[in-house]
Structure 1
């Protein structure tokens, strides 16, 4: 019967409902507790009632039925009022690392067991959420209100999730509408944070309906210290002193230049006098004396000085005198008679020239004054510090250096363009056989600037970001509308339980730079001709059809199957997408319309068998086979380059890839206190649109070689994995304890690396490979009034890269980026009474590297070349109070010690000795919040 329970539970979870909803009585969860598992998802207002202590002890048994591999369940309702986002909740799962790429509330990704973010599949109610406009799902855009649970799978991935994902799968299951209920919640937090939500559930027809709407916004203007500014101070002082010295030494340098360059002829005594008496020199420069001296000295040089400034005067006189014909008679033509004239003028012609000494004297006498005068004005102006353009530029540069120094003297910054506003709406109707769900989400946010203003090597010099606009395109704003509609039906026919699902997803993502800042074109990536930099629009439409179910072969054998097909279309438009620059510019900027339309088709067939091997049901064997296929087509409409850097881009490029993979799982229930579990298998991760076809501008399909000959799409990533776990339930330290200890191992090949393939574009190459292994520990203690939850992850990763983009074909060791070796989370909850609950939690993230290059020569050490982020420990705390049965008030503070903004990267950046700079996007720190929740 265990095999039946596993599959039936998996089917129920895939529908987003409680375990007992579609299950016969034989499949129901155990009821030998104070509260059944199905009631564990109850929407009770408080999450710390004293009469439900035994529920947590049984949860691992329920979780084990979701997958024969490693799975964790996170329930947002257990954190009611704490204003946690999806990334916040995922921090409580071992083996998971969350990267807030652009800061809190901005673009955020997740990795598992050393994977990349693209190797993690994000599902919502069993439907893949990945869309082609991004290489990885932005977790910050996924609301967790109206969510019943978040399932996190690592290692073995159940067959009910179409596709193979080397990192793992996160499935977000929305709530099932049940009893009639109305709840309201409002909240405030630091830095302009506001939240509000309403949820209504009620019976409708032979089912029930849930309507939820949610709002969230923040200004995000938190304070932080710019460490690069502190490092800039000694460098800036040195630069100011050096520039001032150049300005002060202008007169002496001018004297040397004019005398050594034979512009004027002065005796050494005069030179020494003028150098010692600047006022006397300026008087000489600003009178006619300098002009006379230049004229007297340069008149003789005019006979030989045939530069671009006066050659035309001589040529014109030669033509006026009819002497050009003499050159033509001697075999010269219109292209080279000028050269012969020059040889004549300086007396270097072979044989007798056309210009005799007498003719030269006549020309010089008539035009000599003009020839010399052309240079007199330039030299006299250049000698005057008030008129010299270079000197004016030096003074302007000095003022900028002084302004930079003034900015650096106060390193306090307030984050700019870090605001966002999000809304989400869900309508879900469900009965015994049908589920109809519709969602509509909006996002309106500015996109904060990198405080490096370029790259890590520019961080110290460009520390003024967030004081004023410094980028060419600034005040960048993104607006996104997303909608989905799902229709699902499930039936039981004898031994077969099956269902079908249709799903539609739409996303319209708009971006525009509100401020074009021509005063700071600091980076080649910010130049005005770059495609999509001023504005862009990405529109996606995705259709999915799926049939899945389970068939009971016999009492010990349950077959689980899935057939899934989806098709997505993506249209891209934006600034300079159709602009072609002529001449040299066309070689420097990929400004033609290159990729403006894409299509992707995914096809998955998966079969899983759950086999009970013994009569007692203590041995369960679960094999699984999968065939997954992807076809991606990129279209380039309109004009494009026919030569140069993008010559390999065709009107239509397509790639189809598919492969079969397998998984095995074995579980042994040793006794009621100990379960052992082992899984292994192969993976073949199909690539998404952005990885194959690029983004239409800055990221392009990879050329076959670095010269841009032919076209080469990257191929899917492959790998294999193994893990073994021990799950223990017992009494420990006087508490009910549940502990899971897992060892995992993964070997990955053909991994993608985004590399710079040309001056103005990047491409994905299958240049990486790597191995990772580690340990995950999760332990929960339940006492009478205390709960303690602990999660720890150890990760050891080795990575290698061969740099195809630059023709280096041998693998070399590189740093695995954004993969901390140690990461852990601890949470303590205390319930002194039914009305109060206090909690405290801490999250530790070990140091990790932000740049993959590992230096092997030069002054830079291998460690510093990886630009490591220092370890970080963040503490949160709060109080929940229930003054009345239907009221809950929550008061809390996140990052009590304000560690987020103090996060540091150790680097040798920007001309300085090794020291610290900020991460590219600083993280928000200490945040106070209050939430009021009322349930009618």
Structure 2
């Protein structure tokens, strides 16, 4: 069950702020209806790929993407050619083929109850259509969520919710699990947004209709449904070689509706930046009046002016979906071909992002990801009983090559191949009773079974002793889950709602440690593991509401966390290539707060929600990053707590403001299993160590002004990320300095449905200027006193800065 639906008679739309509170199938303002729909155009004609390297890879983007993009381009062309012919038939049958949908945004209580008993926020990609935003950009608007752009703009990105690790967040597409054993922390940069209706983020309590019990929360990506006949195209361009194009067609077919969508995107990402450690070093004068160069530092005199290299990527995606009132079938294809840029080095001799052809720090490290997804299912309602069943299939391939690899490297450092195949079946039921009694019940049950097989191979899998290492070449696991929830309405207590949720999960397969270890062999049976949650919600007076949620969670390590992917994550192995064991992580969540929705005056409306949250995680599995690599480790027991604030203010249809902020603090409260440099045991416990890689404060605000009866909208958006701690030792803590970016733009929609957009992202070019404090100290060699200069180097992967963009979209 991807999400609840409303009957046509129950739906209407009310616009408040930049978000919509939806109760019906028609927009409040018909002139904005086209705004909410997909405006896609045929993908750009991507260049042909070069000759292969003997492994299916060329010097730039292999032949696989060429075939894919040409296929999608042909489909897109057919969309444009067939649209006029189909349009007349569609108009005749539009009323009879329009399907039930639900679109929900904001914090309006009735609609939040439909999606979840706990905290949920929803954003719509079409609200920012034409602004060249990706999924991580959309998640920045939601409190409690931090999108980790691990390798810079457009590269590998994951999500953290309320200070969790990315592996503690489950990703779903239309309610189907997207996380795989080969990549527990889902790469958000590979998920296309052109055919997405909305993105739902569940913080803390996750409804029973989603399988699993994530410690952090869940993100559900709901794709568009073919609800009525239409054709849309869009195209856009931005700085640093960025291009986007997409197209979609929806038409009646076989008593239902068909949706066909294609899109393509590419970027070179060759922005300029300064290597700050060189500039800082050259500004130092020692106590004796000499400079670092007099003592052999900065001997090469390299330029501090750099231009990002090997930062390009290309994407191609397609979706084909048919549905009627009871049946649906869907197929999608996603493709990405990209290079991973080098991190900005901490030495004065490294030549990353220079034109030096002999620089070993400008290696071409390339990853190609392709994925097929299929789903089919049935759903029907019999009075107060709803039944549904869904079957799914996934086929994913990830290939990595270091085209400049030299010498003996670790496992997977030169190349790796991963192939994941997964089949699943799920069923769900919902029954509502006691509508007129003191206790009302809505019972929901969800059961799911997944069969997943990973085929893996990597360079140096055979050790120097001529024997295989611990790394599996075939990894199988089966996961079963059974979940139930009962939303109980206690009417004598003013419609107090209590929602208990019970979960049981069983995992079969190799999930722990080395296959050569008696504690973690090639197979495993971990029985049924229970978890639970309890939610309470009470509406008060004049739009006020109070709520609280608590629950337990547990999760096993994945293949990806044990063995890495050879690109971003290193295998968790010792010097003998023996896999280090990881323990199961488990914990408990709690949150409580209040909210208000209502009128502020004659034309003023608003809403606000304040939430306190906390989480305790035992044996937390955490991504431990260094300049030379990253790996997952059990890092101890963590305790995180914080506050979330979210709200909207709207003045009629003329202006609206949406704001969100998160203040959080995560620390280790019980020893860690890896060593912080220079720290003794006492310094590693009792709350003195912070949880790394999460900001202590983050905020987002967007202000919209509407003119000409809504045809023209101008906006300003501010995003702030506070300190993100990246390292700590007895000497102190290192952190990425706060980053604040400002975006400006405008949209104009013509009467014929044409929409033009333009603007600038990060207008003050702050992205490439972000630095790290406390990570690199330079000592004065001319004195015995402790005198240091903090060189404040760049963050490992600078963000792309000031970016201009334009786009056009048309709906027929």
State how far apart, in whole Å, the 1-side matches of 2:755 and 2:184 are. 40
Root-mean-square deviation (Å): 3.4
Report the CA distance between 1:436 and its aligned residue. Answer: 0.6
Q: Contact 1:791–1:824 (CA<8 Å) still a contact in 2?
A: yes
State how far apart, in whole Å, the 1-side matches of 2:105 and 2:158 are. 29
State how far apart, in whole Å, the 2-side matches of 1:85 and 1:709 are. 38
Report the CA distance between 1:39 and its aligned residue. Answer: 3.2
Q: Contact 1:635–1:652 (CA<8 Å) still a contact in 2?
A: no
Q: Contact 2:513–2:580 (CA<8 Å) still a contact in 1?
A: no
- Give SS of 2:137's match: helix
1:739 and 2:608 correspond: yes
State how far apart, in whole Å, the 2-side matches of 1:782 and 1:675 are. 20
Report the CA distance between 1:796 and its aligned residue. Answer: 2.1
Q: Contact 1:597–1:635 (CA<8 Å) still a contact in 2?
A: no
Report the CA distance between 1:530 and its aligned residue. Answer: 2.1
Instruction: String of CA shifts for 1:213-232, please: whole Å, max 9, x gaps.
Output: 01110000011111012134
Q: 1:768 aligns with which of 612, 621, 636?
A: 636
Report the CA distance between 1:660 and its aligned residue. Answer: 1.0
* 1:292-441 equivalent positions in 2, closer than 5 A: 402=299, 404-405=300-301, 407=302, 410-441=303-334
State how far apart, in whole Å, the 2-side matches of 1:664 and 1:234 are. 58
Report the CA distance between 1:627 and its aligned residue. Answer: 0.9
Instruction: String of CA shifts for 1:673-723, please: whole Å, max 9, x gaps.
Output: 1122111111112332223566599855678xx999997442233233233
State how far apart, in whole Å, the 2-side matches of 1:756 and 1:901 are. 20
1:442 counterpart residue number? 335
Q: 1:499 aligns with which of 371, 380, 388?
A: 388
1:39 and 2:26 correspond: yes
Report the CA distance between 1:746 and its aligned residue. Answer: 1.6
1:871 and 2:738 correspond: yes
Q: 1:690 aligns with which of 544, 560, 564?
A: 560
State how far apart, in whole Å, the 1-side matches of 2:772 and 2:624 are. 22
Of structures 1 and 2, the larger Rg is shown by 1
State how far apart, in whole Å, the 1-side matches of 2:448 and 2:151 are. 34
Instruction: String of CA shifts for 1:575-596, please: whole Å, max 9, x gaps.
Output: 2223x425xxx8xxx9847332
1:538 counterpart residue number? 418
1:609 and 2:457 correspond: no
1:935 counterpart residue number? 811
Report the CA distance between 1:803 and its aligned residue. Answer: 4.2
- Give SS of 2:479's match: strand
Q: Contact 1:57–1:736 (CA<8 Å) still a contact in 2?
A: no
Q: 1:780 aligns with which of 632, 648, 654?
A: 648
State how far apart, in whole Å, the 1-side matches of 2:122 and 2:273 are. 35
State how far apart, in whole Å, the 2-side matches of 1:94 and 1:739 are. 12
Residue segments in structure 1 that go unaligned for 5+ positions in a row: 1-13, 49-53, 244-397, 453-457, 519-526, 641-645
Report the CA distance between 1:914 and its aligned residue. Answer: 1.4
Q: 1:135 aligns with which of 166, 170, 184?
A: 184
Distance 1:702 1:629, change over 3 A: farther
State how far apart, in whole Å, the 1-side matches of 2:743 and 2:361 are. 38
1:922 counterpart residue number? 798
Report the CA distance between 1:804 and its aligned residue. Answer: 3.3
- Give SS of 1:794's match: strand
* 1:850-865 equivalent positions in 2, closer than 5 A: 850-851=726-727, 853-855=728-730, 860=731, 862=732
Distance 1:800 1:700, change over 3 A: farther
1:261 counterpart residue number? none
1:61 counterpart residue number? 110
Distance 1:690 1:15, change over 3 A: closer
Instruction: String of CA shifts for 1:785-808, please: whole Å, max 9, x gaps.
Output: 001111111112222463435699
Instruction: String of CA shifts for 1:818-858, please: whole Å, max 9, x gaps.
Output: 2212211111111121321111110111112012x332xxx
- Give SS of 2:486's match: strand
1:488 and 2:488 correspond: no
1:841 counterpart residue number? 717
1:5 counterpart residue number? none
Instruction: String of CA shifts for 1:522-548, please: whole Å, max 9, x gaps.
Output: xxxxx5242221211110011111111
Q: 1:563 aligns with which of 438, 447, 453?
A: 447
Q: Contact 2:588–2:617 (CA<8 Å) still a contact in 1?
A: yes
State how far apart, in whole Å, the 2-side matches of 1:761 and 1:927 are. 29
State how far apart, in whole Å, the 2-side matches of 1:884 and 1:459 are. 58
Q: Contact 1:193–1:217 (CA<8 Å) still a contact in 2?
A: yes
More divergent stretch after superposition (894-903 vs 232-241): 232-241
Report the CA distance between 1:907 and its aligned residue. Answer: 2.7
Report the CA distance between 1:755 and its aligned residue. Answer: 6.4
1:671 counterpart residue number? 541
1:660 and 2:649 correspond: no
Q: 1:581 aligns with which of 452, 455, 464?
A: 464
1:350 counterpart residue number? none
More divergent stretch after superposition (722-731 vs 173-182): 722-731
State how far apart, in whole Å, the 2-side matches of 1:115 and 1:242 are. 45
1:177 and 2:226 correspond: yes
Greater helix fraction, Structure 1 or Structure 2:
1
State how far apart, in whole Å, the 2-side matches of 1:650 and 1:233 are. 53
Distance 1:533 1:764, change over 3 A: closer
1:223 counterpart residue number? 272
Q: Contact 2:377–2:390 (CA<8 Å) still a contact in 1?
A: yes
State how far apart, in whole Å, the 2-side matches of 1:822 and 1:711 are. 34
* 1:168-247 equivalent positions in 2, closer than 5 A: 168-233=217-282, 241-242=294-295
What is the total number of aligned residue pairs between the two structures? 712
- Give SS of 1:901's match: helix
Report the CA distance between 1:657 and its aligned residue. Answer: 5.5
- Give SS of 1:78's match: helix
Greater strand fraction, Structure 1 or Structure 2:
2
- Give SS of 1:814's match: coil
State how far apart, in whole Å, the 2-side matches of 1:148 and 1:710 are. 42
State how far apart, in whole Å, the 2-side matches of 1:656 and 1:513 are. 37
- Give SS of 1:228's match: helix
Report the CA distance between 1:45 and its aligned residue. Answer: 2.2
Q: Contact 2:342–2:362 (CA<8 Å) still a contact in 1?
A: no
Q: Contact 1:631–1:655 (CA<8 Å) still a contact in 2?
A: yes
- Give SS of 2:269's match: coil
1:147 counterpart residue number? 196
Q: Contact 2:636–2:673 (CA<8 Å) still a contact in 1?
A: no
- Give SS of 2:343's match: coil
Instruction: String of CA shifts for 1:315-368, please: whole Å, max 9, x gaps.
Output: xxxxxxxxxxxxxxxxxxxxxxxxxxxxxxxxxxxxxxxxxxxxxxxxxxxxxx
Q: Contact 2:557–2:582 (CA<8 Å) still a contact in 1?
A: no
Report the CA distance between 1:557 and its aligned residue. Answer: 1.0
2:6 counterpart residue number? 19
Distance 1:198 1:148, change over 3 A: same
Instruction: String of CA shifts for 1:133-190, please: whole Å, max 9, x gaps.
Output: 2230001001111111110111111001100111111000011101110000000000
Q: Contact 1:558–1:610 (CA<8 Å) still a contact in 2?
A: yes
State how far apart, in whole Å, the 2-side matches of 1:649 and 1:416 are. 44
More divergent stretch after superposition (116-125 vs 799-808): 799-808
- Give SS of 1:827's match: strand
State how far apart, in whole Å, the 1-side matches of 2:522 and 2:131 are. 50
Report the CA distance between 1:18 and its aligned residue. Answer: 4.7
Q: Contact 1:17–1:176 (CA<8 Å) still a contact in 2?
A: no
Q: Contact 1:155–1:723 (CA<8 Å) still a contact in 2?
A: no
Q: Contact 1:685–1:716 (CA<8 Å) still a contact in 2?
A: yes
1:823 and 2:698 correspond: yes
Q: Contact 2:241–2:266 (CA<8 Å) still a contact in 1?
A: yes
Q: Contact 1:459–1:909 (CA<8 Å) still a contact in 2?
A: no
Q: Contact 1:594–1:649 (CA<8 Å) still a contact in 2?
A: no
Q: Contact 1:529–1:591 (CA<8 Å) still a contact in 2?
A: no
State how far apart, in whole Å, the 2-side matches of 1:894 and 1:606 are. 43
- Give SS of 2:636's match: strand
